Amino acid sequence: MSIRACLDTIAAYGLRSIGIGERLLPKRDFTLCEHFTLIGSGLLWNLYFGILAIFFGFFLANAIAMAKANRRWWLRKPAEWFIFVFRGSPLFIQFFLFYEAFVLLPKMGWDINLGFTEITVETRWLTRAWLGALIVLILNTTAYSAEIFYGALKSIPRGDIEAADAYGLTGWKRYKRIIWPTMLRLAWPAYTNEAIFLFHATTLVFFSGFPAWRQKGDALYYASYFADKTFNPFVAYPILAGYFILLTLSVITVYGAINRRLNRHLPQEKQRRLRVRPNVIR
Amino acid sequence: MFSWCTDPDTLEGLAWLSCYLTTGKHMAFYRSFGTVMVLLLVTAPVALAFGFAGAMAARSHFAPLSWLGKGYTAVVRGVPDIAFFLFFVIALDQGIEYLRHRIKCPDWSEPIRQGNDFVVCPAAKMPLSTAPQWVHETYGFALAVITFAIVFGAFAANVLYGGMRAVPRAQMETAEAYGMSRRQAFWRILVPQMWVYALPGLGNLWMILIKATPLLFLLGVEDIVYWARELGGSKTSAFTYPHPDWRLYYFLALLAFYLLLTRVSEILLDRLMARLTHGQATSGGKSTDKGLAI
C-alpha cells in the first residue's frame, strides 16, 4: 500500500460519514488505510454529538441543579423527577423510547424567517440521528451533570456563603461571584468523567433505533461494518480503541486546563489533580 | 391461557387485552426479564472476582504483572464499553474455536483465515452444528456473561484497588510488627477492611451494570429489548391479535422496569451504607446537615 493510494483513500472517504466523497463503501480487500480513514471519518459524528450535547447540557444542568436545590417544591420536584428518570434508566432504552415517540409524531413543518434566509423546520428531522439522538444525549447528560452540580452546591463550605453575606452580596451577585464559581470548582473532577463517558455514550446512537441514513454512521458503526464484512474483529476494534483513547486524552487535557484555571487562586499543594473514575457511565 | 381466549376476533376491551398479554410470545417476553436478572446475578460475582484479580495484579511487586493489571483497567476505561461488547463476543468465539481446532484437528492443512472467512474444521465448531437449540442459546449467553465480566471486572479492579489503598497504612505496619508475612497481612488485615472503603464504588458499579444490561440485545441474546421490538411492531390483520405500532408502550414498560430496579437497588445500598458507616467519623455521619440556603 503506497502513500499515494492512501491519500486517494483519504480524499475519497475522509468525509464519508457526512456524505462527502465516494458514495459506495469499500466492499472487499480492505486495506489498513481504509480502516483508519473510515473509522476516523465516523469519529466526526462522535465529536459532533459529544461537543454539542456537553455544550447545551452544561447550561441546562446548571438550571436543573439550581431548581433541585430550591426550597420551593414546584421547582424542586420536577427537577428531582427529571434527574431520577434520566439517571435511573439506561441510555440505550432512552434512545429507543424517544425514537419511537418521534416516529409517532405527525409530520409537520414550520417556516421560520431568519431575516436573511428562510428555513423550514420539520418534525421528521427528529427521527434523524443528528437531531433526535442529539436531543436524547442533551437530556441525558443534563441529568447526570445536574446531579454532579447539585452535589457540589451542597458541599460549598458554609463559611464561603457566610462571608458573602457579610460583604453584603445578595441574590444574583452572590450567585455569580461566589456560589457558581465554587460549585463549578468542586464539581469539575466529576464533571470531567461525565464528559469522557458522554463521548463514549455517543457510540450507542447508531445501534439503538436511529438509522444510519445512507451508511453515514459514527466510528463504531464503521468499525462494526468492517468486523462484520471481514469476520475479523482484531483490526477494526483496536483502531477504534486507539481513536477513543486519543479522544479521552484530549478531553482530559482540555478539562485539566479548565480545572487549573478554576483552582488558580488556591495554594499549589491544595490544587487537586484530575483523577478519572468510572462513576458516571451509563 | 384463559378459557375465553379461543376466538380472539370476538373479544373486546379488557378480555382482549388479557388474552393478548398472555400469548406464548408474551410469556417469552416475561421470561426474558428473568434472563436480565440472571445475567445480573451471575455477572456481579464473576466481575468482582475479575476485579479482585486485577487489583491484586496492579498491587503486585512483580512489574510486568503490575503493568498488566494497570493496563487492563486503563484500556477498558478509555474505550466505550459497547465497543468491547461487540469485540469480545466475536473474539472470544473465534479464540475458543481456534483452540479447539488446534487440539481436535492437528493435521488440518488449510489456513484458518481465508480472505473474509474464518474456517475451522467441523469438529471444532462451538457449539457443534448438530447441537440442540438450547445449547446455542446457552453458549451465546455464557459469552455475554464473560464479556460483561471482563468489562466490569476492569471497573471493579479500579474500585477495589482504591479500596485497598484507602485502608490506613498503620494497619499494615502493625501487621508487619506482629511478624505477619506480606501474604498473611494481605488476607487477614487488608482484605477484611477494604470493603467499607470500596462499597460506595461497588454500589455505583452495580447501578452501572443494571443500566448496561440492555446491551445484551446487541450481543444477539433474545432479551427484553428484542421482545419489545418484536411484540410492539404493528401487526396486520393476518395476525391473531392485530394492533398498530405499540413499541412506544413496550419501551415505556422497560423504562419503568429499569427505574424500579435502580430505585430499589439505591434504597438497599443506602441502607447498607448507613449501617456500615453508623457512628463513624466520615462524611456519611453528617446527614443531619440541612445544606445551604440558596
Query: Among all residues of chain B, which has the CA nearest to that of A236?
Result: B87
ipTM at complex level: 0.86
* Alpha carbons A225 and A239: distance in angstroms, whole number: 13
Query: In this structure, are strands A118-122 and A109-113 parallel, antiparallel, or unpaired?
Result: antiparallel
Residue A58 has pLDDT above 90, yes or no: yes
Which A residues in the span 175-194 are in contact with B, Cβ-Cβ below 8 Å? Answer: 175, 179
> Can you name the CATH fold of B27-221?
MetI-like fold (1.10.3720)
DSSP string over A108-121: -EEEEE-SS-EEEE
Instruction: Please name the residues in contact with A136: beta carbons below 8 A apart, sequence gap of 6 or more.
Output: A91, A94, A95, A98
The span from the CA of A141 to the CA of A196, in Å, is: 11
* Contact of B73 with A274, CB cutoff 8 Å: no
* Closest-CA distance of chain B to residue A213, Å: 19
Please, which residues have CB within 8 angstroms of residue B244's CB and are 6 or more apart in sequence?
A: B234
Report CA torsion sign: B186, B192, B194, B195.
Answer: positive
Identify the closest residue of chain A to B205 by CA–CA distance: A279
Q: How far is B74 from chain A (nearest CA, A)?
A: 9
For residue B282, what pLDDT is reported? 46
* B81 at A interface, C-beta within 8 A: yes
Per-residue pLDDT 10s for chain B (294 aa) are 677 777 767 777 777 778 888 787 888 888 889 888 988 999 999 999 999 998 888 888 888 888 888 887 777 777 888 888 888 888 888 888 888 887 877 777 777 776 667 777 777 777 776 777 788 888 888 888 888 888 888 888 888 888 888 888 888 899 999 999 888 888 888 888 888 888 888 888 898 899 988 888 888 788 888 888 888 877 777 777 778 888 888 999 999 999 999 999 999 988 888 887 665 544 444 443 444 444
Segment (H or E) for B114: strand B113-114
* pLDDT tens profile B189-242: 888 888 888 888 888 889 889 998 888 888 878 888 888 888 887 777 777 777
Cβ contacts (< 8 Å) between B152 and chain A: which residues? none
Q: What percent of chain A has pLDDT over 70?
A: 94
Sequence ranges of the domains in chain B: 27-221
Work out the number of other CB atoms within 10 angstroms of the CB of residue B227. 22
Q: What is the pLDDT of residue B286?
A: 45
Write down the architecture of domain A38-270 according to CATH.
Answer: Orthogonal Bundle (1.10)
According to the model, what pLDDT value does residue A166 have?
93
A65-99 pLDDT tens trace: 999 998 899 999 999 999 999 999 999 999 999 99
Which one of B75, B81, B230 makes the best mutation probe of the A interface by having the most chain A beta carbons within 10 Å?
Answer: B81
pLDDT for A127 beyond 90:
no
Q: Model confidence over A242-269: pLDDT tens digits?
A: 999 899 889 989 998 999 898 888 876 6
pLDDT at position A265 is 85
Q: Is B118 helix (H, G, I), strand (E, B) or coil?
A: strand
Candidates A231, A234, A245: best to mutate against B (most CBs of B within 10 A) is A231
Chain B interface, mutation test: which of A76, A97, A102, most B Cβ atoms within 10 Å? Answer: A97
Write down how long chain A is. Answer: 282
Alpha-carbon distance A238 to nearest alpha carbon in chain B (angstroms): 9
Question: How far is Cα B219 from Cα A63, in angstroms, rounded to an integer?
Answer: 38
CA angle B234, A139, A15 (to 5 degrees): 80
Average pLDDT over residues A176-203: 90
Beta carbons within 10 angstroms of residue B193's beta carbon: 17
Q: Find the residue in B nearest to A30 (Cα).
A: B116
* Contact list, A92 vs chain B (CB under 8 Å): 214-215, 217, 225
d(CA B26, CA B42): 25
Burial class of residue A56 (count of CB atoms within 10 Å of its CB; 0-12, 13-18, 19+): middle
C-alpha grid cell, residue A99: 425514537
Under the banding of pLDDT at 50, 70 and 90, the label for residue A273 is low
